[in-house]
Structure 1
């Protein structure tokens, strides 16, 4: 009964609000990302184009796969459950959320690193530059992410099988799987955030030092990395902090009401992280003004002053 109470949504009204937010995100983000995916496949033919198109295609693919999880989570919240009571569904959901959320973060980061090398070290050879014209690096990223999701399948977690690994008892036993899972959760956010901060600072400094010549490319790079930083900070950092607070309350065996409040806050900020699926299209626009022009001319031609001049072959 204690495990069951941990998995129940204590504040059902609040969780129904969470569910409503996820449904709105799903309704808005699915057609938006589907239209972007259509452009990459049928207009840009991303596999024949430059590296940014390949990275961005994988980013939108990860977002769409993540979106398909939202209706199931919303249904659970409406039913007053923090997770599905079906063990298979619960673990499959966690696997999809870990994998596609990690992929979204990874491709956002790789896009910024690629822009960093192009702007700060334009003549320097690097592994990313050598592989960027093939899909190999994207496939490698997906393959590297797969092992990181295995801990969600090895042991009961977050109410799967009516038990919850995030209890002070499991941490007192120094469970390796639980510890590895938390390491994965935090490193897949903290390390990319540090990389993004570094890339942003270096590109901004490069722009300030450039006193002559065309600054358009540098300014566009600044817009890109700044946009990625905003998306990352808004979507992922709050849930990371909430996760840390949740773990602290459980490790310190805080009172049950405080643990419950921390769990509710974490679930709410995880819902906020799904806004990433709506905000990522901003990255596409800041990667290239040509993409923005192509998108508008394809789906909103009435907003274009001269649509016939905006047929873009590649970004």
Structure 2
């Protein structure tokens, strides 16, 4: 007869409370730094740049910022539970809502990073394909469509109670779990290959361009490279650690599973720095945003940047 466990209690309560208190400190630092930064960015987009009247990439950048605010809403709850020595709430409803929000943040961030990169790729590598560019100019509609499509893709996170933190399930043959993992890895690896492809094509275009506006191509290279760097830092380690968690889970070693879950939770905390790194993408992708932000918040640095560009 197989031994049974109370999986909810086992997975929600950590055996290493000091470690999770340390994780909570990391999240507190991220929240303290990210909240005022993103509020200032929100102010820029709405009151200074009026993003809805700007070019397509500005609308996509605004939606990327909205995805970061979804994460910022979740951080205080995660901080509270980590300080209590819990990976997540033992309340089933609260746990599912939190997982839904976190999955939505990840999916939306990846989607808009990818669209931003594709937009820059088309404008640089295929500038004569006006039909595609015309479609991308309908960026508010595209943004709404992305959010609309992400909701059903995020629903599998709420269909059953998961293991807290690592969100894998004790039922190894469950089809819902398999669907969730397929969606999880598909949403990371396919966009990553698209980002790398777009970056390689833009770099190749820059190398072939002997005359003309090489400055525009360099800015495009910086923009897509920044997207790839942020993506690699925030999402690829999460995917790698999740693969390790799933492999270890199928080996049925409870101590190893606990360690793997703790490492996974730590990487998750680190990956939340995307809400701090995304403003760098705004600056690389939009010189108008960079100049407006610096002239409003840091006028001294804006003058320094302008002098360096002129020199």
- Residues 101-156 of structure 1 deviation map (CA, whole Å, 9 limit, x = unaligned): 21011101100000000111111145464142441000000001000111111111
Partner of 2:178: 179
Quote how far apart the aligned CAs of 1:165 are. Answer: 5.1
Partner of 1:238: 237
Partner of 1:64: 69
Partner of 2:115: 110
Contact 1:114 1:129 in 2 (8 A): no
Quick one: distance in 2 between partners of 1:83 and 1:306? Answer: 46
Say which of 136, 139, 142 aligns to 2:147: 142
Contact 1:34 1:64 in 2 (8 A): no
- Residues 186-234 of structure 1 deviation map (CA, whole Å, 9 limit, x = unaligned): 1111111111110111111111011111201100010011111111111
Partner of 2:197: 198
Q: Which is further off, 18-27 or 7-16?
A: 7-16
TM-score where L is the length of structure 2: 0.92
Aligned to 2:303, the other structure's residue is in SS state coil
Aligned to 1:156, the other structure's residue is in SS state coil
Quick one: distance in 2 between partners of 1:189 and 1:39? Answer: 29
Contact 2:119 2:136 in 1 (8 A): no
Quick one: distance in 1 between partners of 2:159 and 2:133? Answer: 33
Q: Does the alignment pair 1:155 with 2:160?
A: yes
1:5-84 matched pairs, under 5 angstroms: 5-84=10-89
Quick one: distance in 1 between partners of 2:95 and 2:154? Answer: 14
Quote how far apart the aligned CAs of 1:267 are. Answer: 0.7
Aligned to 2:80, the other structure's residue is in SS state helix
Contact 1:50 1:133 in 2 (8 A): no
TM-score where L is the length of structure 1: 0.91
Root mean square deviation, CA, Å: 1.7
Partner of 2:169: 166
Partner of 1:222: 221
Quick one: distance in 1 between partners of 2:54 and 2:178? Answer: 41
Aligned to 1:53, the other structure's residue is in SS state helix
Quote how far apart the aligned CAs of 1:239 are. Answer: 1.1
Size of the alignment, in residue pairs?
A: 299
